[in-house]
Amino acid sequence: MRHQNLLYAHSGGVTAVINASAAAVVAAARASGRVGKVFAAWRGIVGVLEEALVNTACLDEAALARLARTPGGAFGSCRFDLPHDDGGKAMDRLFAVFDAHDIGWLLYNGGNGSMDAVARIQAEAARRGHALVCVGVPKTVDNDIVGTDCCPGFGSAARYLATSMLEAGLDTASMVGSKGSVFVMEVMGRNTGWLAAATALAAQGDPDRAPHIVLVPEAGFDEAAFLARVRGITERLGYCAVTVAEGIRRPDGSLLMEKSRDARGYVQLGGAGLAVARLINERLGYKFHWAIPDYLQRSAGHWLSATDRAQAEAVGRVAVEYALAGKGGTMPAIRRLRDAPYRWDVAPVDTATVANLERGLPDGFVRADGLHVTAAACNYMRPLIEGEIAPPVVAGLPDYGRWEWTTVARRLPAWQA
């Protein structure tokens, strides 16, 4: 009996554990005995459109284990939204590729926009009477997908950022001078403050430990109140540590800082931390240091959360189960069962109900003055960063190796965007 093939792809910003989901998908598909070939698209949905597919048969068990512990996106990624106004050209191409390579299942690993793509592709399959089953696999360091308690990728990024703030706080405290000093760390977070909030774990409930202030997009930036708090903390401790989410906004809703804006209106953020640090220096005269972890916060494979990796593997494995059961248009969501001890499982969510939505910090997670997060936020995040996974090391560095792929022969004319 001939078995149909399964195609995996991931999109958007990668995480330190996205490859763990990929490896789990490949392993589960093989173990099912129902899947023929397991393909991975090179560079996400763009790779599907370009018919750039990798046959994962080249990965033996040892290679899959190495893949699972490698940060970044081993199969490449992309930022591409399926167009609504191309007359169906992109959809036609996708289904042509599916048919050319006998693909019966598509697993798409991504965030809010990717869940929209899953819902749309599944709806299109139904409209065409096509047997394709499309399932979403959640991931994002932003932790903002609706319908899931947390998102694979967030726990490891949160762990890295909390550790960075802990260590930088100790450094800053040791260098206190007569004029006072401030350390500002700008983290990712366009519309939501989950990553900024995670740095609060570094203080371990002690208000005198860094970070002393956490600024998130969910709370408008009150300049006067902020400066007063910085002054009070610095006069008392000799220094102040501040976390700034890149997307913080003024009370009128305008961004504090943006790096660039393209012709389509897409804004690249960056510089909010520096703007805050300079404001402190200009108004209060304190010496400042400013840091942007940028890609470091989502790629730190040397400091993974074991919880995060276990969840990344679980959603990959369960996504295969959903696909083979014909549960198209769904996403395996993480469901919190208990806080202490932490317990969780996975349950299906309809992607059409969560697509393109963003889950921000709940009101109860942001302090009333907007200058920090609450104990409830820390209690929610703490179990997500727990557990250690030591990477193999060669010559003092993590041994991630390199991945070199050969795509299968194309069967269709070249894609013309």
Residues identified as active-site: 142
Dihedral (CA of 199, 204, 205, 209) sign: negative
Asked if residues 173 and 125 have their Cβ atoms less than 8 Å apart, the reply is: no
DSSP bridge partners of 335: 345
Going by C-beta distance under 8 Å and a sequence separation of 6 or more, which residues neighbour residue 377? 197, 200, 361, 364, 365, 366
Q: How far apart are CA 338 and CA 332, in angstroms?
A: 18
Asked if residues 39 and 5 have their Cβ atoms less than 8 Å apart, the reply is: yes
Q: What is the CA radius of gyration of the chain?
A: 23
CA angle (124, 34, 105) in 5-degree steps: 20
Asked if residues 192 and 146 have their Cβ atoms less than 8 Å apart, the reply is: no
Q: How far apart are CA 187 and CA 195, in angstroms?
A: 7
